Amino acid sequence: MAMGSGLERLGGYPFEVRCSPGSELRARASADVAAEAYRYLSPLLSSVEPDIAIIVAAEADWESRQPYGLPYFNDGEDQIRPGILVMPATRGDFWIAMGEDLREATPSGYARLRAVYPDGAGGLDLQPFFDLVTIHELGHAFEVLGDLRLPTFWLGEIFANLALHAFVATRQPESLDTLEVLSTVGSQSRRLDARMRAEGYTSLEDLEVHYTGGDNPMSPLNYVWYQYRWQRLAAGVFDADGEDALRRFWDCFRARDVLEVAAASLATLLRAEVSETLGRGVENWR
């Protein structure tokens, strides 16, 4: 059975919405922000309207190699729509592990996280952040179903983060702290950075080899370390170039075959056709 096909359907959106029993309020929250972002991104990106379903799943209905709590986009065959965005209905062990990782790595930063994402009991509630991550997954829907031909996996992640940041900065600026504080704390933690460099993967080339499977796949928390840094890079690109960077990114790679190239060579293309800030960030990635 296709993911989400047996779940409750919610109407009133420009895409299909499904959710686990008891998750209607959370599904509405995700679908509402995704609908606003859908209407924002489509005119910017060649008026593409990706055919998608948003699925808000409880842990019992979660079907993925990803741990419960880590949202994902899937365009595999036999889905209920050409693309599905799968979001967690509640927090799970993965969100808790993210918080514990940062608490151990940066106690002062953890205090800032508790101030922005309080759970009311002295810990973290990352739900507001992950509500916004729905837009990141929507960015992947535009990328994949809109025929954006990217030569590397990580470029898709940067594109999705740029789409997310552009939407929040222009349409929901009151949510910028919710979006940015987690990645700011994570990317500035020297202890976390040192641990990843000693025990995990850190280069863009490593990511291509070890994220999507194969031998020695990276851990979900290692992947999150990359996301912290990509989110900060996307913020810098938007600060420098605004929505134009997103349009140029789209125009550069849509329906255009770019041969797989080393990050250094790709940086030259990005600097010339998308954003000086983005090209420099890729070129200087360490």
Q: pLDDT (tens digit, 9 = 90+) per residue, 93-135?
A: 888 899 999 999 999 999 999 999 999 998 899 999 999 999 9
Same domain, yes or no: 167 and 83: no
Q: Residue 150 is which amino acid?
A: L
User: Tokens 């990359």 belong to which residue?
Assistant: 226
Task: Provide the mean pLDDT of the chain.
Answer: 93
Same domain, yes or no: 62 and 74: yes
pLDDT band at 212 (very low <50, low <70, confident <90, very high): low
The answer to the question of residue 137 being in a domain is: no
Could you tell me which residues are beta bridge partners of residue 52? 83
Same domain, yes or no: 244 and 221: yes
Same domain, yes or no: 96 and 83: no
Res 217: pLDDT: 86
Q: What is the pLDDT of residues 48-67, one digit of tens each?
A: 999 999 999 999 999 888 89
The answer to the question of residue 101 being in a domain is: yes
Closest CA to 213 of 257, 156, 153: 153
The answer to the question of residue 12 being in a domain is: yes
The answer to the question of residue 130 being in a domain is: no
Closest CA to 154 of 215, 84, 205: 205
Q: What is the pLDDT of residues 126-170, one digit of tens each?
A: 999 999 999 999 999 999 999 999 989 999 999 999 999 999 999
Percent of the chain residues past pLDDT 70, beyond the cut: 96
Same domain, yes or no: 109 and 154: yes
DSSP string for residues in the chain:
--TTTTSEEE-SSSSEEEE-TT-HHHHHHHHHHHHHHHHHHHHHTTT----EEEEEE-GGG--SSSPTT--EEE--TT-SSSEEEEEESS--HHHHHHHHHHHHH-HHHHHHHHHHSB-SSSSB--HHHHHHHHHHHHHHHHHHHTTB--SSHHHHHHHHHHHHHHHHHHH-GGGHHHHHHHHHHHHH-HHHHHHHHHHS--SHHHHHHHSSSSSSPPPHHHHHHHHHHHHHHHHHHHHHHTHHHHHHHHHHHBT-------HHHHHHHHHHHT-HHHHHHHHT--
pLDDT band at 91 (very low <50, low <70, confident <90, very high): confident
The answer to the question of residue 132 being in a domain is: no
Res 208: pLDDT: 87
The answer to the question of residue 9 being in a domain is: yes
Res 177: pLDDT: 97
Q: What is the pLDDT of residues 243-286, one digit of tens each?
A: 999 999 999 999 776 655 556 688 999 999 999 999 999 999 98
Q: What is the pLDDT of residues 222-255, one digit of tens each?
A: 999 999 999 999 999 999 999 999 999 999 999 7
* Total domains present in the chain: 2
Same domain, yes or no: 105 and 80: no
Same domain, yes or no: 67 and 101: no
pTM exceeding the 0.85 threshold for the entire prediction:
yes
User: Tokens 């900065």 belong to which residue?
Assistant: 169
Same domain, yes or no: 193 and 82: no
Res 263: pLDDT: 61
The answer to the question of residue 108 being in a domain is: yes
Same domain, yes or no: 4 and 106: no
CB atoms within 10 A of CB 107: 10
Q: What is the pLDDT of residues 30-45, one digit of tens each?
A: 999 999 999 999 999 9
**Rounded average pLDDT over 186-193:** 96
Identify the domain containing residue 71 by its residue range: 1-89
The answer to the question of residue 134 being in a domain is: no
Same domain, yes or no: 82 and 214: no
Res 259: pLDDT: 59
Task: Tell me: pLDDT of 210 over 70.
Answer: yes
Same domain, yes or no: 156 and 42: no
Same domain, yes or no: 236 and 110: yes
